[in-house]
Structure 1
Amino acid sequence: MVAEKESLVFNRILFKLFLSSTFLKLYDAADTLFPNETIGVGQTLVSKNQVFEVGFFSPASSLFLGMWYKKTPKVVVWVANRNNPITGSGSGSGSGVVLKVSEYGNISISRRGSVIWSGNPSGVGSDPVLKLLDTGNLVVVDSTKQGYIWQSFDYPTDNWLPGIRLVDDSDGGVDTYLRSWRTSEDPSPGEFVYRIENQGLPQLVVYRQTKKMFRTGSWNGLGFSGLPLIPNASITSFSFRDERLISISRPITSSIFSRTTLEPSGLLKRYNMNARIDTWTHVQTYPRDKCDAYDNCGAYALCSTEKPQMCQCFKGFAPKSQNDWDIQDWSGGCTRTTPLNCPNGDDGFLEVKRVKYPDTLRTWLNTSMGLEECKAECLKNCSCTACANPYITNGGSGCVMWFGDLIDIREFPEANDNQSIYVRLPASELAGSSTNGEEETEEGKKSGAKKLVVIFVAASGVVILALLGGGVFFIVRRRREASKSNDEDIELKILKLETIMAATNNFSSENMIGEGGFGPVYKGSLSAEGEIAVKRLSRTSQQGVEEFKNEVILIAKLQHRNLVRLLGCCICGEERMLIYEYLQNKSLDHFVFDQNRRKLVTWTMRFDIIMGIARGLLYLHQDSRLKIIHRDLKTSNILLDKELNAKISDFGLARILGEGQSIARTRRVVGTYGYMAPEYAIYGKYSVKSDVFALGVILLEIVSGRKNRGYGQSEDGHSLLGHAWFLWRENKIWELMDKCLSNTFTESQVKRCIHVGLLCVQKFAEDRPLVSSVVFMLGNDEAIIPDPKEPGFFPEESSSFDTSVCQESSTITDVEAR
């Protein structure tokens, strides 16, 4: 048996030597690179049938590794190191630059031994080779494993080739999209992104930074409502999960070369190769015309290129500014000429045919409801402005309701004739009328509640806040599907203003223990609850009633040892207060950033705090009944009890992601500079990965005892994240550790925390781990942790930082209350 194994190994070595020899002889046509070989400037890999070529190219003054068509006119379709251009002078930027694949399957570009760019293999290989396929996919293949352990198709740049999947899968941690070049000569990441968007109904969208420029319209069962109804299913593959579009791709064919390119200008252009004349034929461009430009006509207006005036208000609406419309500035949109009669009137619907559905910024979806039932549901809610069948299959099915303004609608002259939207109008604007009734829950009927106010609409349903008799706050969530319509309620104690004033000594300054964006926080005492902390909404607070409601809705439903516990609230006139459990120690930032207190927090204490924060965040993202994005995770929002157990607090800015929803966007970016993930700060896009970024910042701050924002500029000129990355690459990571920990730290834990922290703050969301992986990696000495990529950087203002030597302290003697 041993002899057979040795023979197998020997034969494999001979085979690799034979292939290597053949590779050297036929280098110009070779499609494979072995671990003992490199590709330098001027050398290339060429796919088997001479379709694609990979090598270094040099637009302007930088060097990049790219892929282009070999025989057809040279078009670069993929760039590896677009975020890390190779620059230099003297001997040339290409001096010593090579592409290689390691014996474990990691593909990398290095320059005189220093790694400039590397791939992110899905596993560790034992017999890997790098191979360029005729499909344009550069892959790492391992003879001992099925599939690829790395492929360029998972990391497209500006070109969408057949076989590449655009993906929006938060559960799997995958977010694949196109990003334009900066200019036609600079392949660095540009301003435009083309991606799947699952906010409401699925669609494909082009963004310019945070501004939406073009969308295909929502998925209607056969295609996208803003595109001509062609049999998409025959030429495109779609993958759905719980009404969410997870991926889209075009099949690979050997008979025709095609590509879709996101140009530096933001235009999407599709090309086919005309082999007879060896040139690319332009097939399609999006946006096609002015009506494809996002929100060209404003709210409640229809865009049509077939009419003398491109923008037309819906019946029952008139231009907000007639003077603007007279000079063909339609951006202000339209407004109602007659208000709706809700809740006591007889509103109805105007059918608008052959349209691209409005953007689904705020919608409610039910896949089993018919159109008439959908209309009835819409009329029950005064915030509902329109409804439709989301799917045109089988004569129309499902129900989608819009809340708020209807924007980005265009009319089609012929196609899409089954796509009608029903716009809500008062009876006076319609020939007919329909009835409307007030919605009331069973709990409301029993308690005599008179008023129900809709305060939050999510993909998972409508959340209703009702103040009922007997001093009880009820939060009622209506389920998304009719088959799951059982309502649930939460009882939250409402305290009288006089009670809170007595408990806090009339909000005396002696009882004030802190202040944040919400307002001041006071210590108090109640006979039933004991010591309490009272957050009082300040009249000058930048956060307001919406944040107050938001925190009540979220935290009242959450129960976890690493989340602060909400005991009740107080609403009296303009007063809004939240009553929490009292925690004996201040927030985390009062310890780790204070020159004296940080000496008191040993490594064991800090590691326990790190694990507590991670477990609390895991509960929010995965283990609670709601998927909650905190959006303002930072050291000052981590409270510590008397045993220094970490508790996440301040949910005023948090958001719920609906069932099946992984990513959301907002036009109002809120949070704290220094903890914001790049995609949130720049594009307003938030997901579990944006919280993971903040967790990584906190983790590095705890280990180093230094703030990310306001961090004193080091010799390398970087922020805390940049400095940590610099030390990691220079194998000097121990220099990051707080000197106060020198007598208490555990080497493996500190290194693992820094390693995981750098993984969490990687620039691109798709590279960051999920919190479940963070918890596993932090708590498992045997966990295999991948190498981090470059973090997201933000320019910081310089400030001084005292690096005085700390004296060891084994007990906490200076404790402040909160």
Structure 2
Amino acid sequence: FIKDPETLISKDGNFTLGFFSPKNSTNRYVGIWWKSQSTIIWVANRNQPLNDSNGIVAISGDGNLVVLNGHKQVIWSSNVSNIASNTTSQFWDFGNLVLLESITRNILWQSIQQPSDTLLPSMKLSINKRTGKSVKLKSWRSPSDPSVGNFSSSTVERQNILEVIIWNETRTCWRSGPWNGGVFTGIQAMTMAYFFGFQTGDDGEGNIVLYYTIQNDGDFFMYHLNSKGILEEIRWDDTKKEVLVTWTSRESECDVYGICGIFATCNSLSSPICSCLRGFEPRNIREWNRNNWTDGCVRRTPLQCERVNNKSTSRKEDGFSKLQTIKVPDFAEGSSVTSDICRNLCLKNCSCLAYSHNDGIGCMSWTENLLDIQQLQIGGLNLYVRVAYAELDKGRNMTTVIISTVIIGTLIIVICAYIIWRRRSNHLARKKNNKSFQLFNKGGSPEHYATDNEIGESPQVKLQELLIFDFEKLATATNNFHLSNKLGHGGFGTVYKGKLQDGQEIAVKRLSRASGQGLEEFMNEVVVICKLQHRNLVRLLGCCIEGDEKMLMYEYMPNKSLDAFIFDPSKNILLDWRTRYNIIEGIARGLLYLHRDSRLRIIHRDLKASNVLLDEELNPKISDFGMARIFGGGDDPVNTNRIVGTYGYMSPEYAMQGLFSEKTDVFSFGVLILEIVTGRRNSSFYDNEHALSLLGFVWIKWREDNILSLIDEGIYDPSHHNYILRYIHIGLLCVQEIAVDRPTMAEVISMLNSEAALPSPSSKPAFILMKSMLNSKWPEECQSSSSNNNVSITEICGR
């Protein structure tokens, strides 16, 4: 067959069968590798190495595939019994070594059924429900020793709940969370749009099997259990000619099985990462404070656990505390009932400590200690933990106190703010900024705004419609504007994270005192946003004006801004295609509301990735309305002598002539689409060979019908191929050089939600060359009629 150092290469050229020595070892092994010898995916004689280079792979007299040493001794065999005819061996695609009957071509043995430490497409992990026998991945002992190590991984089914487990010998060290028919619910990278082709089922012989398939050889990936017991998803980077790890089972400390002990949850974004469930407290407070959480938590208030036939009315029934986006605990018991029945069954069973329900899984309940609970950022399930009524009552009483306090406090603050405002309005000698603010609050306009007032002919907006916060309260909420609470900064000030006394988290935008333009943008933002209510626009909570201090309070977005995800390789993978689709559509709906559906007709003028914030569920919210302009009823563009915005997002007619309209925002939206799909920033993209901007590069690839080379590898999915091409097409329609050629946002929404044929772009994108974008000239009339500080360019900075 073959002798050391000969090799066999698969038909597709990606897999090789041959002899190899691991790094730092002189032992020889027969194995299969993918792309390069550094990626061994299967080893025949892993526990019996060859001591020299005289090994042979052949078919023995009994028809088995064998590895022989220099003395012709068998050190490994396929070990098929009762072979009745002549056999032959072939090396197939996907690295599958096969032993066949020569005449019938029946498969007698294949390496894909005997995995080493790597799971390939169509390779099956299984467990037999009757015998308990399983097919597992088994790690190498070390990177230089392929013999069977301490770690193994396979699928398990317990009480009708299917999961993947990694063991350290017999001790669990990681688990995937329950399978819901499409994804493993405890793996954060897996969402409902995670179409990696995993399938499970009964093979008809009593085996529960798990395997995955791929639809496109160009998107080939595999799973590798390394010698440290970490499962890795690996892909090949054809540009760098190396293997890339795109996911691991150890994303954080919280992926360590049971790290927080029983009745505790782990959150990798918290410090410390472990916290007791509601109604529980640390079993050993001293060890807990030392970050030794192994003892877990114990119930603080005993359960009443009333039964249905209990006639007592003196005691109140236990209830459930709800946890969202959770990797549910281990050792669930499954049943096929509805959510309501699931809750009632748990409530009536004194042994039931928690329950969860999912349409793909059914009812899950727990009667043992709750172990290995993890707080995820996306995905996961809802978990309902049984607690005593007294614990729920504490929460209700506290909520009542907080609500009452907030209402009374708000009234006092508003009344005091109104009195202070009225008193200050009578002082003619007050500072210029405060005078401007009062005129604005009364509906007037300071003289220096008259030529190009951002708020135009807007309805009068009274600041009394908002909550007025005092400076001291905001200083306390942000820990005196400490740097550790800083979220980001822009052209007119800095944004801080704050926490009010009632626990509400807020974002505080503090305008820079040195900014001569800051007051105008502050006034403009108050006027614009306090009239807007839409799920894809950030919500303004209040404002503060004391002396030179001007601040705005917004709802806090825990996932910060979109640019922090799409331009960060470590976070990029969290945005699968379905998530990006939802973000694109959400931004589009927010813009449509601004342009057509709100009480005011508004042009944003500074739409960019850093001005799109993401909430807990990665829903987009457009922010920063300091540059926005309230527009008239017509469609004609308006001219301004004060150009504001960000390089790379400004339309050509606005950047060079000062003309803006709805199509100005459409252009920015088109740039955003292309950035979201490609994962590249337009303002910093540079193609050395042609000096192209991102828009130019996309346009060239589009015309060459080579658009796939632009797609972010982390989100490309063959099943979404046509949708991805469609979104790029829509992006190119939006960035056309001539404004009238661009679609309206209403037309964009229609394009995004239909499969109708799209028109071809009638003009090329603006700013194809990078230098044309950076060297765009401002109109002469703007230069002559405005001050030296007439151009405001926002710094690109994530929140």
TM class by shorter chain equals 0.3 to 0.5
TM-score w.r.t. structure 1 length? 0.44
- Give TM-score scaled by structure 2 length: 0.45
